[in-house]
Each structure stands twice: as structure tokens, then as C-alpha cells.
Structure 1
Amino acid sequence: MPRRTDIRSILVVGSGPIVIGQACEFDYSGTQACKALRAEGFRVTLVNSNPATIMTDPQFADRTYIEPLTAESVLAICERERPDALLPTLGGQTALNVAVALAESGDLDRLGIRLIGASLEAIHRAEDRSGFKEAMLKAGLD
């Protein structure tokens, strides 16, 4: 995949506290993504509500916010930091819910922030269980 030149700064939304069966894998993948994005020269801002995660270690992001993972708090960070893109796919369901709320409210468009990692349509399709099943069958994956 070619490197995008239209994006210089990315807001990564973490998964919050570890819940049984969720978040540990997001913490690891999010940490690795932050490292890789910074190595590629992107300015990385991270928001996560879990201060105990390795992801919030200062070496992984240019700026880190320990804030509630709500649309309101992430919007405030977007308004302050003005990232070019929002990456929610490393934060599980919580981060996806925040991204959907910000996209559907028009806030991402208003601020000129692109949703990366998955489009709004892809998130909706994946969360629509029957639609997801239909897409997988259509792709020959049964």
C-alpha cells in the first residue's frame, strides 16, 4: 500500500481498561501501530482511558491523553490537536462507537478529519450481522 501524503497527523483511539475477553489484543496492536506510524514520520496523538496500559507510555505517541473514551472527550481532543485522520480500529468496539458518533454527527467532516482503518460504511456493514454474513457469502467465504 502506498504511503499517504495527505496525512501528517493521526489520532489513535485506544480501547480503555482491559475487560475479560477484550482489550489486551487491542493494547498490543495499538502499541505496535503507534510505533510503526511514528517510524513512518506521522505525528501520533493517542487517547485512552486506561493509564495502566503500555500503549500510554510516552515513547509510543507524540502526545497522549488519558480521557474517557466518549464522543465528547474525543471531539475536544480533535478540536485541540486538529489531526488529519482518526484511527479507531485499534481500540475495539468502544473506539468504533466513538468514531461512528463523530462521523454521523458531522464533526469529522467539519474538522476535515478523515476516518482511516475502516470506512464508516465498513463499520456499519461489519456490525450488521446479517449484512456481514451476506457479504462473506457473496465473497465465497462460508
Structure 2
Amino acid sequence: MVEKIIERDRPDALLPTMGGQTALNTALAVAERGILDKYNVELIGAKVDSIKKAEDRNLFKKAMVKIGQKVPPSGHAVSIEEAWSIVEETGFPAIIRPSFTLGGTGGSIAYSKKEFVPLVSMP
């Protein structure tokens, strides 16, 4: 659908930073599919690599470490065992966040193992 709009209207540029998460996701999708290049549309306001770094927690953390910024201890887990291993290293309180969330929903804070286990066991 977006490609049809670009093909019809022939914009010079796309400004994805003014449309929230949906605009950023759409801009990445059309850029990665080569649609922007195909119609010679410039992405302005943010570059694709910058959007990717901001959206991916691990890429963001690496970028901050690379420029000497301090980042809190953290990790990425796909199982309860991996999550517990990370918390054993980082300690409590533990901020628990799903891999993908809109508007910060789904996050929790555990102050003990008793609170931690049910939070990471949630579907």
C-alpha cells in the first residue's frame, strides 16, 4: 500500500520521525524492501541505521558502550533459566521487559526471586 502511494505521489523525501512507532516501522520496511531507492525517496530526520540502533536494545547498548557511555548491567534471555542467570549477575531489583512492546506495556520490576519467577513465566 505504501509503495502505491509513493509511486502515485512521488515524494522527494519521507520524514518518519513525526508519526510515532508506526511511521518508524513503516520507514524501515520500505527502506529494507528497496522501495525508497526504487523511487529515489530520501529518508530525512533519521537514517535507517540510526532507527535500527534505537529500536534494538542490544545494538543500542553496543553503540553507547562504543562512545564511552555508561549503561546499566543487562542481558537478553529467551528462557527462565537464562533470565535467572542474568539476574544472578546483575542483582535485584530487576527490570523485566518483553522483547517487543508498544508504549512500555508488559514491563515489570522484581525485587526478589519470589516476585521474579511469576513475572518471567508470564506468556
With normalisation by structure 2, the TM-score equals 0.52
1:124 alignment partner, one of 48, 52, 70: 52
Moved over 4 A (4+): none
What residue ranges of structure 2 are gaps of 5+ in the alignment?
Answer: 71-123
What residue ranges of structure 1 are gaps of 5+ in the alignment?
Answer: 1-71
2:4 alignment partner, one of 66, 76, 79: 76
1:86 aligns with 2:14: yes
Q: Which amino acid aligns with 2:45?
A: G
Looking at structure 1, the residues matched to 53 and 61 of structure 2 have their Cα atoms a distance apart, in angstroms, of 9
Looking at structure 1, the residues matched to 29 and 62 of structure 2 have their Cα atoms a distance apart, in angstroms, of 25
Alpha-carbon distance, 1:134 to partner: 1.6
Greater fraction strand: 1
Looking at structure 2, the residues matched to 106 and 131 of structure 1 have their Cα atoms a distance apart, in angstroms, of 22
Alpha-carbon distance, 1:88 to partner: 0.4
Alpha-carbon distance, 1:117 to partner: 1.1
Q: Which amino acid aligns with 1:108?
A: L
% same residue: 59
SS of 2:68's equivalent in the other structure is coil
Q: How does 1:1-142 map to 2 (within 5 A)?
A: 72=1, 74-142=2-70
Highest relative contact order (Cα 8 Å, sep 6+), 1 or 2?
1
Looking at structure 1, the residues matched to 53 and 37 of structure 2 have their Cα atoms a distance apart, in angstroms, of 21
RMSD: 1.3
SS of 2:14's equivalent in the other structure is strand
SS of 1:89's equivalent in the other structure is helix
Aligned length: 70
Looking at structure 2, the residues matched to 76 and 86 of structure 1 have their Cα atoms a distance apart, in angstroms, of 14
With normalisation by structure 1, the TM-score equals 0.46
